[in-house]
Structure 1
Amino acid sequence: MGPVELDAHRAELTAHCYRMTGSFHDAEDLVQETLLRAWNARDRYDPARASVRTWLYRIATNACLTALEGRARRPLPAGLGTPGQDPGAPLAPAVDVPWLEPFPDARLDAAARTDLRLAWIAAVQLLPARQRAVLVLREVLAFSAAEVAEQLDTTVAAVNSALQRARSTLAAAEAEQLREPDGPEQKAVLERYLAAFEAADVPALVGLLAHDAVLEMPPLALWYRGPQHYGQFMDRVYAMRGTGWLTRPVGANGQSAFAAYAPAPDGPGHLLHSVQLLDVAAGSVTRTTVYTDPAVLRPFGLPERL
């Protein structure tokens, strides 16, 4: 077993650690730790007991469980408190909250992009860490109950019980519907949304929204529900930053997303402002999650200026 063989599993392990932690940066660190542990323990690996892949997932899962001890879950703003009523409220970031981060699709192969939708990852964060591990290992990665029991040093009965409780929590959070991949209808809605966004056509944007659409902008704890407040806030954005924005589609969490570039205040060109992820259902935008933190945007490899 060489480093090349171990590194071949990096992409899928990164997705696994992201599902567990909700942080792309933490996932990369944990995968690096996993591969180092595996390399150091290579002489003790027994191929008769498990494949290299199964062995690596055991190391990665337990590294995640250790990292999650004593940590708060990573939420989205809509998972905390009630929606805002004032579209002119102060835009003060909540820097003390470990917000859920997006995941750049470019860091994965296509096979590893399943079950990465942002709202589903947010719902999974509601689970205790071991239930989270059981759910991901059983339902996303399709390990058997016996394999999961071996990985977590527990019994098959305990695995089945944890999976049942995890499913109940996700059903209560209405998360299952958020796992469907984007199709042609979603892509068409994204194209219309981008055209309206670049044209600063707020009525057209509002016309694409579901009646209970959510707009959230971590690290702001402030969030809005419904087309009226959504539209009023977008009016505020264009008044503050000007019109004539540019957009570029990007891959994030296996769903509709784009990078937004605001007119540069210091001369010609446009500066990277945000990466925005859209949830689309029945031809309408149901949620927009806007990320502006430069540290969160950096892994997307986007140009800072157009």
Structure 2
Amino acid sequence: MKQDIAQNMIEETRMARDAFSTMVGAFSSDLWSYCTYIAGSPWDGEDLYQETLLKAFGMLPERWSDLTDQKSYLFRMATNAWFDLCRKRKLEVGRLPEGDISSVPPMDTLDLEEALLQVHESLTPKQAAAFLLVDVFRFSAEEAAAIVHTTRGGIYASLQRARQNLKENHSWEVKPLKTKDNETNETIDMYLEAFNTGNLDKLLSLFSSTAHNEAFLGFQEYSKAEMKKGSMRFGLPGHTAKRITLWGRNVIMVITDDGELHDIQVQEVENNQIVVHESYFFRKEFMFAAGEELGVAVQLNKPPVDWR
């Protein structure tokens, strides 16, 4: 009986999640860009984006008013999630004191493009949020004030200070992440060989019995046994995988025979075994950004996903 209840809850939640995904689809690209800019990198932005969607979906039962402004709701969730993360990292979120400014003209396009590369390093989290919401994503000052939890005057004053700070700070660079050790490299090399030769048994032997296998916003499996019964039950996809560096991180890129980007994967290795395997297969915004960065077309039709 308990098992039936749990299964019904899973199925009903999946249907609700699908409806939610349809609802937010019109804003997903802007939301992902916002998360990336405010977090300072595509990797941290992707994490923030996923956290935002999970919180936004989970908080829906607590709303007693109609969700008339879905875009503001999502951006509010993203902003709150980022502020919470900053506080956990012991970072000062900042305040937006009011000024005497009644209006602020739009920022020049060329200045804006350069500024986007510096937002994370040059502004406090609240200043960055206010700047991005108004200058990039065209929220009104009143809408931005509600999202950032400040006043309209605070937004106007913050925009001027943010723009001045960005003009005074012109340096920006991507900091490469630390590479993994030889143990990881050897295990990943064996993974690549097994993947590319279609040797499922060899590939599974590289995973720990309690490995965590996750395709972000798609599915999660919590053991090798679940992988065998779930995502791996039909075997390997027959594509080609190779090691690359994407935005400073060592990852695995999976390419189809037609040269299209099928997946981006990341693994964690402990004691010569894969303990975490993460896939971006279902992550449309991330995959398109990765394809653009790598100069590779993204596979649009890859069941159960169809992005055509």
Shared fold per TM-score greater than 0.5: no
Larger Rg computed on CA atoms: 2
- The TM-score by the shorter chain falls in which range? 0.3 to 0.5
TM-score (norm. length: structure 1): 0.43
TM-score (norm. length: structure 2): 0.43
